[in-house]
Structure 1
Amino acid sequence: MTVLNKKIVPPHAIRTIEGLRDTGYDFNTAMADIIDNSIAADATRIEVFIEMDFGGAITIYIADNGIGMDEQGLDKAMTYGSPQRENLKSLGKFGLGLKTASTAFCRSLSVTTRNSKHSPIFKARWDLDHVAFVAQDWELLYLDPDERELEILEEVSNRGAGTVVTWEKIDRLLKDYQDPSGVHARRAFEKLIANLEDHISMIYQRFLDPNFADAQNVTIKINGKNIDPWDPFCTLEPETELVAEEEQDAEFEDGTKTSFVVRAYVLPRKEEFSSEEARKKAKLSNNLQGFYVYRENRLIHYGNWMGMYSNEPHSTLLRVEFSFDYLMDEAFNVDIKKSKISLNSDLYNWLKDQFLPAPRRAADERYRKGQKKSVKKVTKGAHDSSNKGIGSRQKELTMSEVEVKNKEKNEVEITNNKGKIRIKLPVLDQAKEGEVHVSPVDSLEDGILWEPALISTNHAVRINTNHPYYHKVYVPNLSSGVTIQGMDALLWALSEAELGTVNKETEYHLKEIRFAVSRILRRLVEDLPDPELGNNEPD
């Protein structure tokens, strides 16, 4: 191929700088991208000031005591697609985050910086209105710092090296309120700050925790409030279990070698936490289960199973740490916002097929132990109406006579229209006042849903509350007495029909029918939602 000519074709300034406002940042992710730059600059102190004036205008300052920049360094930092950092471990990855994260919410981005105590202070600004309506080109403004920026820089840097990032002309943060400074706007503003505090405590947990030795220690404040680290794995709780741990080596096509660590934690049930404060801090909820992926100790992804499974209550107690270094960026396809990742197929299959099955079983087992207690509590008295209703009709509906032959061995003799037969049947004493014809129990042999029984001479049915059908169909309808009576009546009738027709030829087949129906029902209700009850409710 013959090259006829060469041209440098720079991007259109106005279209590009406006278009890059729509890269999909949310506020928390954008702020984290700015803080990444502070950590990459070796800051040990980061302070965020989010201020609203009397007219509702918002200004944001993010300040640090990092290494700062000279004029040439500031030029590079403000360039869209700035040069790659020498330290490839840096949290700042693509050279776009400072600009795109900021202008996603503001039309004026300024950076004020100095690189030593005796160096001059430089301030550069991207003003989107200046680019669009005045220069109509990539014209970066150099200005004198204003009084507030100087005040913050001196305070946070202790009159040494440091940087202040300033957002002004913020136009995409709060929705348009009729009164931008009114009570509703103020409440939204306060909620915005509270959500940011939670986000920062999670994303930078390892940097904020002075006991975590593998990450540089950083203090972060928002409007003067210290942000404490949030540990998603509740590692200090005595009942937290580390149920699986793997360190795997990885080698790429170019010969690069690295490793990654995966750890699966099963958290305590709510009643197992050491204190109410610890329970609340754990934030047990459906949308916080799953993977917690750390790149160079910075959390970049959390709260789901990356397409392997859907979030569902049985996995609420399972949280899985995945820690890797910058060498695995391609394997994770880390995006520009460092907020979304996807796994290559080998890693995906290893996690799903080999690593996760055992931790999922452990979490499910712990969840169900608490679920049994909760079901027992919420179903107390739920079958009283059924007992009364069936008791009032028992004499006219029974199809057999049952005589106990050996109570200890649960041996009875059934007399029905087929003749007489000796079988094994649960023979129980009454555990509560009034006649018992429907008895909920924690489990039944072979996991069946129901079985006939004899309770203080009454023909009865025992119902397995641990069967998914009971949990997913009975429990959500506890407030509807008629529905519960109807389902109880059906199972009691099936039990009575079994006693009324059983003989030597049909005994085995009737048990098999119960087993088969119970198995089919288990499969049919798999996709029904789990009810939220007792100790398994999210905060």
Structure 2
Amino acid sequence: MAKPVLLLPSANRMIGSMRDIGYDLSTSIADLVDNSIEAGATEVFVNLIYKENKSCIRILDNGIGMSTEQIDEALRYGSRRNYSSNDLGKFGLGLKTASLSHCRKLSVASRQKGSKEISILMWDMDHIEKEDRWEALRPELHEATHELYEKLQDITGTSILLENLDRDSTGSSDKKSFIASCRHVEEHLGMVFHRFLNQEAKRKLPLTIYINGNKIKAWDPFVRNEPDTRILPSQEFFYEHQERKLSINVQPYILPPEQLFSSKSAHVEAGGPKKWNRQQGFYIYRNDRLIQSGGWNRVRAADEHTKLARISIDFNSNADESFKVNIAKMTVQLPTKVRPELTKFASQIASAADKIYREKPNKKQNSMSRTGNIFNGQNSEPNSQITQKTSSATNQTSQINPTSRVETNQTSQNNPTSRVETNQASQNNPPSRVETNYSPTPDLYQGKGAITEIGSGANLVDTVITVLKKELSDKPEVLGRILSSLAKLRLEFRNS
């Protein structure tokens, strides 16, 4: 017989409000995955099990597991725990509120490394309403649902089972609706945890998430694998909140217009779960976990012409109060003291994205001749770094795509030795490379050479040719390849 464990008295007045905090199914499961990540899991298995009126949801991980006492504390509302600045949890409510927003029975089973014992605790809303007490039940193993504990007989970790699903998104006996819920969950998890799935998060452990046995693919909002995505210089903003000095890191991206995507399917996928117009704007990360995906937070309105602009904002949990993170970790607000700077910054990125969108370039055009300086003509800049370092090369190296068509000589975490490459009009023509051991003569940078007189148009072409011929006079083959490549980019070089 299951033994009752009193965790809170006087339940009936609280049940409704505790179940209606605002979780949808996708955000609920994401909140449960947060717990798995904090438990050091490298694999998380999400199963939405269809059984008509007896469907259930299980989240299983291979983390460190919990003892009986730890499970009791985990299921206590407002559990006692000290959170570090890198934790994904916040209020000690996520496990309970996220789960019970969709079900009337929540069971947690766990097994720690080195132990054969599987500890189980259960919230049953029917029992709580009957007794009018927040009284959890501790069933014996044979009394629990088989799906809850079966996998824990082979691995250590934690299993969470949601039964008696009674909300619209999960309680429907319609199989099509249930399958649609699976797809939404898959899209959401791939987006929210994309840094963890791609091992770009500060956490060193790898992470793989499965839904109904299928490996979830990370969705990168900034499509850095597309050669024509522009990764602009990042900026750090500092501000004070309640006598604490805080900072946020802001990284802008401008995605390619549709014509410049590598394929139609890649463009559709880049539109994201909310589609292109609603995915523009801020992507706000708390400890590498995505909280907000798109939207301008009232600093500007969404517009068709600015839909290529996406900006990541990173903060850790020390800044939670200034961002007003809610319990479901679904909504945030921009800190008041940094709003003016972010508004100015966002306006410039949006203006640059608008300009690129309106150009509607031909796929055969080269990005060097197509864009020029995308910030050219801007009257104000959020930071002096947000200007292109050269007048011809605008596309920057992606952290995950070190062989972009146009690359500057910047470094990234995954590509410390970026190559300088010229863009090609056709994939059939191999790119010409400027040798990495080449260095210009000092005179060119001392006010004596042609580089100090670079202008635009024909003057610029003549200057570039002069410099190349002077610097590569002893390397005719290299010079020939470069001039041949440049001739494919602009008419002026063809006539040179």
TM-score by length of 1: 0.62
1:324 alignment partner in structure 2? 315
How much does 1:82 deviate?
0.6
Q: Deviations over 1:46-72 (max 9, x none)?
A: 00111111x442100000011111111
CA distance in 2, matches of 1:38, 1:173: 26
SS in 2 for 1:228: coil
Gaps of 5+ in 2: 1-7, 364-496
1:70-81 correspondence runs (5 A): 70-81=67-78
Gaps of 5+ in 1: 1-9, 375-539
2:16 alignment partner in structure 1? 18
How much does 1:214 deviate?
5.2
- From the superposition, tell whether residues 176 and 150 of structure 1 become closer, same or farther in structure 2 (CA, over 3 Å): closer
CA distance in 2, matches of 1:189, 1:173: 10
Q: Deviations over 1:395-417 (max 9, x none)?
A: xxxxxxxxxxxxxxxxxxxxxxx
How much does 1:299 deviate?
0.1
Larger RCO: Structure 1 or Structure 2 (Cα < 8 Å, ≥ 6 residues apart)?
Answer: 2
- From the superposition, tell whether residues 106 and 194 of structure 1 become closer, same or farther in structure 2 (CA, over 3 Å): same
Q: Deviations over 1:131-183 (max 9, x none)?
A: 111x22121100124332222324xxxx3420000000000044876xx3xxx
After TM superposition, where is structure 1 displaced by more than 6 Å over at least 4 residues in a row? none
CA distance in 2, matches of 1:211, 1:137: 45
- From the superposition, tell whether residues 176 and 237 of structure 1 become closer, same or farther in structure 2 (CA, over 3 Å): closer
1:48-197 correspondence runs (5 A): 48-53=46-51, 55-133=52-130, 135-143=131-139, 144=141, 145-154=144-153, 159-174=154-169, 180=173, 185-197=174-186
Q: Does 1:303 align with 2:294?
A: yes
CA distance in 1, matches of 2:199, 2:171: 41
> 2:102–2:167: 8 Å Cα contact kept in structure 1?
yes
1:278 alignment partner in structure 2? 266
Larger radius of gyration: 1
2:248 alignment partner in structure 1? 260
> 1:84–1:93: 8 Å Cα contact kept in structure 2?
no
Letter of the 1:279 counterpart: H
How much does 1:233 deviate?
0.5
How much does 1:115 deviate?
1.7
> 1:42–1:66: 8 Å Cα contact kept in structure 2?
yes
SS in 2 for 1:217: coil
CA distance in 1, matches of 2:65, 2:171: 36
How many residues align? The count is 350
Q: Deviations over 1:288-347 (max 9, x none)?
A: 111000000000012210111222101110001001111111110100000001122212
SS in 2 for 1:339: coil
- From the superposition, tell whether residues 168 and 136 of structure 1 become closer, same or farther in structure 2 (CA, over 3 Å): same
Worse overlay, 218-227 or 284-293 = 284-293
- From the superposition, tell whether residues 186 and 160 of structure 1 become closer, same or farther in structure 2 (CA, over 3 Å): closer
RMSD: 2.1
2:334 alignment partner in structure 1? 343
CA distance in 2, matches of 1:217, 1:88: 20
SS in 1 for 2:58: strand
How much does 1:258 deviate?
4.2
Worse overlay, 240-249 or 356-365 = 240-249
CA distance in 2, matches of 1:290, 1:126: 40
Report % sequence identity: 37
SS in 2 for 1:138: strand
TM-score by length of 2: 0.67
- From the superposition, tell whether residues 313 and 208 of structure 1 become closer, same or farther in structure 2 (CA, over 3 Å): same
